Amino acid sequence: MHKILLVILTLVSFNTQAQNTYYINLSGNNSNDGLTENTAWRTLSYAASSSSPVTAGDTVYIKAGDYGNDDVFIDKNYDANDARISFIGYQNVPGDISDFNFTYGDNVDPSLMPLINPGDRNTGEGINLSDIYSITLKNIQIANCLSGISIWNTTSINSNHIFENIFLQNIGWEYSTAIALKEANNNSIKNCLIVNSTGAGMDIWGDNNHIENCKIYSNESQLISDGTYTSMDYYIVVKGDNNLIKNCYGERDGDLEDVGHGFEIKESGQNNLFVDCTVKNMIAGCFSVRWAGVQNNEFRNCQAIGGISDDVSAFMIREGANNNTFNACISDGCQAGIRFLLAGEDADTCGYNNSFNNCIIKNSKWAIDLNPYYYNSAPVNDNRIANCVIDNATYLFNCERPNTGNQLVNCIITNVDSLSTGDNTLNFEYQYSDFFNNGFTMLSGSGNISTDPLFMDASSGDYLLQKTSPCIDSGTSQNAPLVDFEGVSRPQGAGFDMGIYEYHEPFGTIELNTNKMEVYPNPTTGKVNLPSQYLHQHYDIVSTMGSVVKRGLLKDVTIDLSALETGIYYIIINDGKTDNVGVVIKE
């Protein structure tokens, strides 16, 4: 009985110890007990060290302030089963930071969140979490130091760290990384802002990591003593497998010295997913796959935007990358929409068996660029461009490489001045595609047509097909994607459509089992507001008689109904799975 009681007391003692809360502030002292704000510690480096009493399961609150050159090596949680330790910043009262309010153009501000700030970009390690497990870093700023947040594990482990609401600014003078994960798996990085990190914004060399709502910018280009420049090289580079990068943004702000690799997968990265991401003004590729081991990755609903540089690449395939997919992606204002090249990095082909499905390439010089960079005898083989729209380009192709087995199928090509430039012969296949209003005649191939596709409103970027479009049911199922730009299944009619959208008839009557969509004000004399979750989706406005009276792309949360007659209307948005219906009264 005494032994059992001793075990129980020991467990109670352990659990109590493992749930302590500690405090750090600028008026503290590391000789204090850290258990209250009045007896707080002075430095995060002490709290994170093996000398402090912080142990698995504890929380450490850090008050806003400039903590200077406080190199932090977290010397805790060396067992994978250790409970999470949280280091959380606050402004005035613990828990008072609920949102991350920093945006591009802001500078770090120690009055809002704790700041690690050596003041010298040649020194200071920021925060190092190598070879440990289950640490949360939240509401922290790191600036003007050699590195930001670093994980350099000696072997591949499931680190299980959480980084949230982190602002990193001015990291390193040479090749430095703001957030580096090496051999680090199962980590979460959310709501982070990175401005100016010379080597990379994020270097993700691990598996099953989740990066979401992060923004990365570079706007400097200073020459330093070693002959390099401070402008960022890579914005997010992924070298592992099964990573998710969602709703992230990268921008090379200016015609900087470094060409800018936007969001790139290299080494042997496989089965990674980039979704709902936007990248702007990258010469070396807004979205890229690079090296022969890079396979089976997907970019979904991503947008590449041109910028001040005149040679921006939207989607880049290089050094033998293969079997990767770009689904429902947009290139707007880039010199090249799809670019293939090779710099001789252990490959003899640019890339093969890559697919572009339901993509938009508009306002480009070269829609498809077989670029001559370095090894220009390496071929581009067996890539597929299916159900895409190419609109407003100087050339459909820049052909500076051998090419075989590549295919355009079910595409719509409009307003392209010339077919091709370059010294090599085009060996693309063209099938079931519409060539309209171009500076060259329709290309030969099965099922091709040359007639107005009757887009809903191409000038505003709406490539939905009107009911009378000749592209409806005129495509082929061979090599065609099974869903369209919005995830609607193909086919909807007698056959597959050309272009990014699969036309489907709106409901004549509204079924009772559809999802109800709230709209306001209701009644309305003009504009009506819709939930923001439907942004960038297409809507139909249908009268009670079943007629479509208005159609469009929801570019913001409002639709203008002022031109409609008085009456009751249904607003229908299909999200790829369900018809969402709102009923509105127009007065």
532 and 492 share one domain: no
Mean pLDDT of 418-438: 97
Is residue 284 within 8 Å of residue 260, measured between CB atoms? yes
Lowest-confidence pick of 58-67, 127-136, 180-189, 479-488:
479-488
Name the pTM for this structure.
Answer: 0.88
Residue 548 lies in a domain: yes
Tokens of 556: 């913001």
Expressed as residue numbers, the domain containing 119 is 20-255
Residue 541 lies in a domain: yes
Residue 12 lies in a domain: no
163 and 309 share one domain: no
Predicted confidence band of residue 514 (pLDDT cuts 50, 70, 90): low
455 and 385 share one domain: yes
491 and 522 share one domain: no
Residue 305 lies in a domain: yes
Residue ending a domain, among 208, 225, 255, is 255
Predicted confidence band of residue 510 (pLDDT cuts 50, 70, 90): very low
Residue ending a domain, among 504, 524, 555, is 504
Q: What is the pLDDT of residues 403-427, one digit of tens each?
A: 999 999 999 999 999 999 999 999 9
The pLDDT value given to residue 506: 62
User: CB under 8 Å to 497, separation ≥6 — which residues?
Assistant: 387, 410, 465, 469, 471, 472, 473, 474, 475, 484, 490, 491, 503
Tokens of 116: 């690690």
Predicted confidence band of residue 308 (pLDDT cuts 50, 70, 90): very high
**577: CATH:** 2.60.40.3080
Q: For residues 547 and 535, what is the distance between their CA atoms, to the nearest angstrom?
A: 23
Predicted confidence band of residue 8 (pLDDT cuts 50, 70, 90): very low
Residue 1 lies in a domain: no
Task: Indicate if the pLDDT at residue 365 is higher than 50.
Answer: yes
More confident residue, 512 or 113: 113
- Considering only CA atoms, give the Rg of the chain: 27
Please report the sign of the dihedral spanned by the C-alpha atoms of residue 385, residue 387, residue 393, residue 394.
positive
Decide: helix, strand or coil at residue 509: coil
Q: For residues 423 and 582, what is the distance between their CA atoms, to the nearest angstrom?
A: 55
Is residue 182 within 8 Å of residue 151, measured between CB atoms? yes
Q: What is the 3-state secondary structure (H, E, C) of 141-202?
A: EEEEECCCEEEEEEEEEECCCEEEEEEEEEECCCCCEEEEEEEEECCEEECCEEEEECCEEE
The pLDDT value given to residue 576: 60
Task: Indicate if the pLDDT at residue 12 is higher than 70.
Answer: no
285 and 247 share one domain: no
The pLDDT value given to residue 580: 84
The pLDDT value given to residue 197: 95
Q: For residues 159 and 183, what is the distance between their CA atoms, to the nearest angstrom?
A: 9
Task: Indicate if the pLDDT at residue 16 is higher than 70.
Answer: no
User: CB under 8 Å to 109, separation ≥6 — which residues?
Assistant: 115, 141
Mean pLDDT of 184-211: 97
293 and 352 share one domain: yes
Task: Indicate if the pLDDT at residue 508 is higher than 50.
Answer: no
Q: For residues 483 and 475, what is the distance between their CA atoms, to the nearest angstrom?
A: 13
**317: CATH:** 2.160.20
The pLDDT value given to residue 126: 96
In this structure, the number of other CB atoms found within 10 A of the CB of residue 440 comes to 14
Q: What is the pLDDT of residues 205-241, one digit of tens each?
A: 999 999 999 999 999 987 777 666 788 999 999 999 9
Identity (one letter) of the amino acid at 230? Answer: T
Task: Indicate if the pLDDT at residue 181 is higher than 90.
Answer: yes
Residue 418 lies in a domain: yes
The pLDDT value given to residue 575: 65
Q: What is the pLDDT of residues 82-102, one digit of tens each?
A: 999 999 999 999 999 999 989
Q: What is the pLDDT of residues 258-289, one digit of tens each?
A: 999 999 999 999 999 999 999 999 999 999 99
299 and 231 share one domain: no
Alpha carbon distance, N-terminus to C-terminus of the chain: 81
> What average pLDDT does the chain have?
91
Is residue 118 within 8 Å of residue 139, measured between CB atoms? no
498 and 524 share one domain: no
- Omega before 470 cis (within 30°)? no
Task: Indicate if the pLDDT at residue 497 is higher than 60.
Answer: yes
The pLDDT value given to residue 583: 87
Residue ending a domain, among 462, 485, 504, is 504
138 and 186 share one domain: yes
Domain count, the chain: 3
477 and 527 share one domain: no
277 and 136 share one domain: no
Residue 14 lies in a domain: no
Residue 372 lies in a domain: yes
The pLDDT value given to residue 556: 74
315 and 408 share one domain: yes
Q: Kind of pairing, strands 527-529 and 455-457?
A: unpaired
